């Protein structure tokens, strides 16, 4: 099976966790898109829930499927958020997210969620964060060069993400994303705090201590991981 088929397997299993009356956080990315698709089917079958999307792209997909949307003005808490990740650390379920540019809204929704269930194919599992992917950091466009230099003082190499036309990628929040190459990250919590303390940084793609579960599919089947397991 392909990575995409594994992503779909994990996504559809996670979508079954949604119960009547829930407020659901809808993630962003190719795996999360399978979750939204499955929830669109469950909505048509009569499941009653409302959702908060983590990107304009997810909002459009959800609206197209008739999924009722809500906001944090209506609901202080989210019962269950289901989202993808770029790296999942075995044991801690600490994450790197943001390769799709949605880290800020994803982190805001995750921070107000009772459960954050990550869905992925097994290539996302790592022993240490930073082994396979860059670390996205969302920054204000003004003075991004100065912000990048401050990040590089922490040991990373920061470069602004560009789109296919070569222009700077601009997030849903109107900010830039710096893709940062760090050596393998040994203390994700410390690095997250250090990056967040830099003036000009809006948020980083380090999700530390936020995921409660991960549903990971691969050649050895589907595993439902929890913190510590
Ligand atoms: O900004 C994008 C999100 O963090 C995604 O959840 C993450 O990049 C994983 O995306 P995918 O499921 O497409 O691998």
Strand partners, 207: 95
Average pLDDT over residues 76-91: 98
- Asked about 87 being catalytic, the answer comes back as no
For residue 91, is pLDDT > 90? yes
**Residues 113-156 pLDDT 10s:** 999 999 999 999 999 999 999 999 999 999 999 999 999 999 99
Nearest to 99 by CA among 204, 21, 189, 224: 204
- Do 218 and 121 meet the contact criterion of CB atoms below 8 Å apart? yes
CA 201, CA 178: separation in Å to the nearest integer?
Answer: 10
The pLDDT score that the predictor gives to residue 184 is 86
Start-end of CATH 3.40.50.1360 domains in the chain = 3-125+208-226
Q: How confident is the model at residue 208 (pLDDT cuts 50, 70, 90)?
A: very high
Binding site for substrate, by residue number, is: 28-31, 83-86, 97-100, 124
CA 229, CA 227: separation in Å to the nearest integer?
Answer: 6
Q: Domain 3-125+208-226 belongs to what architecture?
A: 3-Layer(aba) Sandwich (3.40)
Binding site, by residue number, is: 28-31, 83-86, 97-100, 124
Pocket perturbation via mutation, ligand 1, pick of 5, 25, 29, 95 by most ligand atoms within 8 A of CB:
29
Alpha helices by DSSP H, listed for the chain, are: 3-15, 30-44, 56-64, 103-111, 144-152, 188-196
Taking the centre of ligand 1 as the mean of its atom positions, its distance from the CA of residue 131, in whole angstroms, is 16
Pocket of ligand 1 (CB under 6 A): 27-32, 83-86, 97-103, 106
Cβ contacts of 166-169, under 8 Å, gap ≥ 24: 168/141, 169/101
**N-to-C CA span, the chain:** 26
CATH superfamily for domain 135-203 = ACT domain (3.30.70.260)
Nearest to 174 by CA among 137, 141, 136: 141
The pLDDT score that the predictor gives to residue 77 is 98
**Residues 144-201 pLDDT 10s:** 999 999 999 999 999 999 999 999 999 999 999 999 999 989 999 999 999 999 999 9
Taking the centre of ligand 1 as the mean of its atom positions, its distance from the CA of residue 31, in whole angstroms, is 7
Pocket perturbation via mutation, ligand 1, pick of 32, 61, 84 by most ligand atoms within 8 A of CB:
84
Q: What is the ipTM of this complex?
A: 0.97
CA 115, CA 135: separation in Å to the nearest integer?
Answer: 23
106, 138, 192, 203: which one is catalytic? 106
B/e letters for 42-71, b = 16+ CB within 10 Å, e = fewer, are ebeeebebbbbbbbebbbebbeeeebeeee
- Its pTM stands at 0.97
Q: How confident is the model at residue 1 (pLDDT cuts 50, 70, 90)?
A: confident
Start-end of CATH 3.30.70.260 domains in the chain = 135-203
**Residues 50-83 pLDDT 10s:** 999 999 999 999 999 999 999 999 999 999 999 9
For residue 229, is pLDDT > 80? no
CA 183, CA 2: separation in Å to the nearest integer?
Answer: 29
Instruction: Name which residue sits closest to atom 7 of ligand 1, judged by CA.
Output: 85
């Amino acid at each position: 099976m392909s990575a995409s088929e594994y992503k779909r397997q994990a996504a559809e299993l996670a979508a079954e966790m949604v119960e009547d009356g829930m407020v659901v956080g809808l993630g962003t990315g190719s795996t999360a898109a399978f979750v939204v698709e499955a929830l669109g089917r469950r909505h048509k079958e009569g499941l009653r829930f409302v959702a908060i999307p983590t990107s304009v792209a997810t909002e459009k997909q959800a609206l197209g499927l008739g999924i009722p949307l809500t906001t944090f003005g209506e609901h202080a808490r989210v019962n269950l958020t289901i989202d993808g990740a770029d790296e999942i650390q075995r044991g801690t379920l600490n994450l790197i997210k943001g390769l799709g540019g949605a880290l800020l809204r994803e982190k805001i929704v995750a921070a107000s969620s009772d459960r954050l269930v990550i869905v992925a194919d097994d290539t996302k599992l790592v022993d240490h964060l930073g082994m396979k992917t860059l670390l996205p950091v969302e920054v204000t466009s003004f003075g991004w060069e100065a912000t990048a230099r401050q990040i590089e003082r922490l040991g990373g190499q920061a470069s602004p993400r560009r789109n296919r036309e070569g222009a700077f990628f601009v997030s849903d929040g109107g900010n830039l994303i710096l893709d940062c190459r760090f050596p393998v990250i040994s203390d994700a919590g410390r690095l997250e705090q250090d990056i967040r303390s830099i003036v000009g940084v809006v948020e980083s793609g380090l999700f530390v201590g936020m995921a409660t579960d991960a549903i990971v599919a691969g050649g050895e089947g589907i595993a439902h991981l929890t913190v510590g397991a």
